Structure 1
Amino acid sequence: MIKSIVFADRLDRKFELRAKVGEYLHSTLARNHIPVDAVVVRRDGVVVDDWQERIDESAEYRIEMVRAYHLPDFLSLTRLWDTELSSGEWQTRPDSFYTKRHFMHSGQGDYDATQVAFNRDEYVQYAEQLFVDGVHSKGLISPGERILLAVSGGKDSLALGYFLSRTADRLPAFELQTVHVTTFSKPLDTSFAQSMAEQFGHPLTLVTDDEVRDFYHLRVSPQEALAEVKYKHDASFSIASVHSMMRCSIERAARNMGITKIAFGLMREDICTSIIKSMFVGFPFGGSYRKRQGQFEMVYPLWPIGKKELTLYLEALFPSNNKQGSPVVFERGELARDIHYMIVDTLETILPGAGFQLFEGHQRMVDNFLGLPRHKECQNCGMSFSVGVGAADLDAGVCELCRVFEKLGVLA
């Protein structure tokens, strides 16, 4: 059963919200995008605990703002609420495939809201131009460069392959090699990575289980070593371990080829999530568009494009290739990772374009205050790793993962 409850802001305006009888008040607030700490709720005139209170059919509820900002106007403008406050502000089109919304800071102390709708063909053109502009604006590719592209066989690296191939005439001329680490991929992903390399005409290097085992001097298989990490050390560290082992393998392939620039398929939410995590845990993230890692420069050409936009790009071009398999067991991240992604997705819903502003602000902070990190080459696996973040790291001869492997007794 549905009942009406009143929302009152600090401008003496009242709005009608719909609540489900029997649901928690907190759920009503969340469903209507109302920050719980911005309001108090009264039942029949008496303040109640919105976390404990369930909607009673016979009671009268009133949600009152405790902060004097125009929440209803903002929620209406972003279409999170459907009220007369935003009526007539947006144009619609019957063939729309995707609508791009932005709330960007104007530089004059306020935000400007924009919206553009694209049909399917227009969207492909838009996405590709967004990619090209992102590469040029941040100088991610220089003429004549040799670049190693890390491919997983998933959507992100597939889309990056299409972008690089279809927009090559708008980018500086460069030579592209690809690498795929089979250790943490399903056979179908490896097969897909091979077919992608063949389709785009990019030479592919496969890094095998045995090679990864040799890199780390393991006395067990990489999967067994990761199981030790996950179940005997720290389950939340397993996904970081996978990423370290993959980066080690990619760096070694690059070193063998004499390549110093490595491109990864991190898109907007991946980078935003890394920045959010770095702020929460106090460990610096190297850069929003690129970062220096020892002798290597890591670049993220997909930085302006979100996962949904990337998925729609593949759907518009080649729907049969628009598939994403489930992650392997060691890449099913901890709850903290899920929370960080949810924060970023929610932030983009409330403030479209927030990622771009987060990137710019974070990059300025890195450039102006953090400086270039110090790196060493791990004496065991050979991967470059940051030092100097904590005093204990200054004299470290091996990376964190190799220290964990040593502690667990899995090194030969």
Structure 2
Amino acid sequence: MGRLKKGSRCSICKAKGEKDKAVVFLPHHRLALCKKHFVEWFEKRVEKTIKEFRMFSKKDKILVAVSGGKDSLALWNALTNLGYEADGFYIDLGIPEYSEDSKNLAISFSEKIRRPLHIVSLKEEIAPIPQIDKATSRPACSACGTVKRYYMNRYAKQLGYNIIATGHNLDDEAAVLFGNTLHWDIDYLKRQYPVLKEENGFIRKVKPLCKITEKESALYAFFNNIEYIEYECPFSEGASSIEYKELLSQLEEKHPGTKLQFYTNFLKKMYPILRQHEEKEKKEIKLCKICGEPSFTDVCSVCKLKEKVKTEV
């Protein structure tokens, strides 16, 4: 977010012959906007992204993965305002204080916009994240991500939704892309697209905020009086993705539009090449022998994790 010059007028108001002052400047879009037009701009940008990548339509039932953070709540609010049938899905990770605070905020927001919020407790399904962290050698964020993806997909099907929407923003996507490119992790790069199509038991997953920055998302939440959890998950401390975000933000500060250019050029120029490669080497998807969910092995990673947790008890 750039600095506003004193007395700057809203670009849209100015074009309409109105005199409202700007409260925010978006340097990579060269836009100075008042509160009203920023909120409109944000929602129109979300709508444009949905249409550009053909994510879903007004006929679809959408399950928004809600964490209690600014991005997921901002997404849920925008989709509701745009007229989509979007409900929330919260996974209680069982992290002391953090999970309780984020869950309460998700519940409060659900009541505010009068949309259902489905809640699943990881403690009841498998074990809280602190216990899972002790039972596995994998980083906590990696195990957590695996578990969340599994239960989102499983419950979306059970509850009758055909779309899962997550609040990943441009900063998230650019940081992940940066890390995967540093390591030339082709398997992950092949899957980094705003839409993961439904197939073989997997529900369609979409990222409508992929072209919205973290600061834009925070400002939208602020202007809409959305309360969200403002501190990071304690297990995310030291995560490489946070360092990548900081590096990219430094570049963005000097060269506005760097993150958007980096991400969109990947989607336009590199992803199609990787996609062709993927079609040739597509892995066979099976059904887990224990739970029946889609898996690349006979027993899925979550069922294997459950066994590990049991042996630690």
Q: TM-score, normalised by structure 2?
A: 0.79
CA–CA distance in structure 1, aligned partners of residues 128 and 74 of structure 2: 31
- Confirm or deny that 1:360 pairs with 2:264: yes
Question: In structure 2, how many angstroms separate the alpha carbons of the residues matched to 1:293 and 1:226?
Answer: 30
Shift of residue 119 of structure 1? 2.3
Q: Please, which of 99, 113, 123 is the counterpart of residue 38 of structure 2?
A: 123
Letter in structure 1 aligned against 2:168: L
Partner residue in 2 for 1:212: 125
Correspondence list, 1:102-141, <5 A:
102=28, 115-141=30-56
Asked whether 1:311 is paired with 2:218, we answer: yes
Matched residues, number: 286
Q: How far has the Cα of 1:329 moved from its partner?
A: 2.9
Residue 212 of structure 1: CA displacement?
A: 2.1
Asked if the contact 1:212/1:245 (under 8 Å) is kept, the reply is: no
Give the secondary-structure state (helix, strand or coil) at the position aligned to 1:207.
Answer: strand
What corresponds to 1:398 in structure 2? 299
Deviation at 1:348, TM superposition (A): 2.4
Distance 1:239 1:99 in 2: 34
Match of 2:177 among 243, 254, 275: 275
Corresponding residue of 1:340: 244
Following superposition, the deviation at residue 301 of structure 1 comes to 1.0
The equivalent of 1:239 in structure 2 is 141
Aligned 8 A contact 1:177 1:204 in 2:
yes
- Write the distance in 2 (CA, Å) between the matches of 1:132 and 1:291: 18
Q: How does 1:12-411 map to 2 (within 5 A)?
A: 93=8, 95-102=21-28, 115-168=30-83, 174-184=84-94, 186-213=99-126, 222-229=129-136, 233-234=137-138, 237-281=139-183, 282=185, 283-285=187-189, 286-292=191-197, 294=199, 295-318=202-225, 321-330=226-235, 332-364=236-268, 365-370=270-275, 371=278, 374=283, 375-380=285-290, 384=294, 387=296, 396-400=297-301, 403=304, 410=311
Contact 2:63-2:165 at 8 Å conserved across structures: yes
- TM-score normalised by length of structure 1: 0.61
Higher helix share: 2
User: Partners of 2:25 and 2:34 in 1: how far apart?
Assistant: 9
Q: Deviations over 1:79-105 (max 9, x none)?
A: 99xxxxxxxxx9961743211122xxx
Larger Rg: 1
The alpha carbon displacement at 1:409 in A equals 6.5
For 1:119-172, what per-residue CA distance to the aligned partner results, in whole angstroms no more than 9, with x for missing partners?
A: 22222222222222222222222241111111112211111122112222xxxx
Aligned letter for 1:191?
A: N
TM-superposed deviation, 1:289:
1.4
What is the match of residue 28 of structure 1? none
Q: Is the 8 A contact 1:378 1:399 kept in 2?
A: yes
Distance 1:322 1:351 in 2: 31
Q: Distance in 2 between matches of 1:407 and 1:180?
A: 24
Greater relative contact order structure (CA < 8 Å, 6+ sep): 2
Following superposition, the deviation at residue 284 of structure 1 comes to: 2.0
- Is 2:135–2:308's contact at 8 Å kept on the other side of the alignment? no
Query: Which residue number in structure 2 is paired with residue 171 of structure 1?
Result: none
Equivalent-residue separation in structure 2 for 1:401 and 1:347 (angstroms)? 38
The residue type equivalent to 1:151 in the other structure is V
SS of corresponding position for 1:177: strand
Structure 1 contact 212–222 (Cα < 8 Å) conserved: no
Distance 1:238 1:165, change over 3 A: same
Distance 2:169 2:23 in 1: 21
Give me the whole-angstrom Cα distance separating, in 1, the residues matched to 2:61 and 2:239.
38
Q: Is the 8 A contact 1:248 1:381 kept in 2?
A: no
| TM-superposed deviation, 1:378 | 4.2
Q: Describe the superposition over 1:225-254 as per-residue Cα deviations: whole angstroms up to 9, x where unpaired.
A: 22333xxx24xx210111111111111111
Deviation per CA, 1:325-350: give whole Å up to 9, x if none. 323333x1434222222233223223
- Counterpart in 1 of 2:15? none
Distance 1:276 1:379, change over 3 A: farther
Q: Which amino acid aligns with 1:131?
A: V
Q: 1:292 to 1:93 in 2, by over 3 A?
A: same
> 2: distance between equivalents of 1:287 and 1:225?
27
Q: Aligned to 1:186, what secondary structure does the other structure show?
A: helix
Letter of the 2:208 partner, please give it. Answer: P
Between Structure 1 and Structure 2, the one with more strand by share is: 1
One-letter identity of the residue aligned with 1:398: V
Q: 2:128 and 2:214 mapped to 1: Cα distance?
A: 33
CA distance in 2, matches of 1:133, 1:100: 18
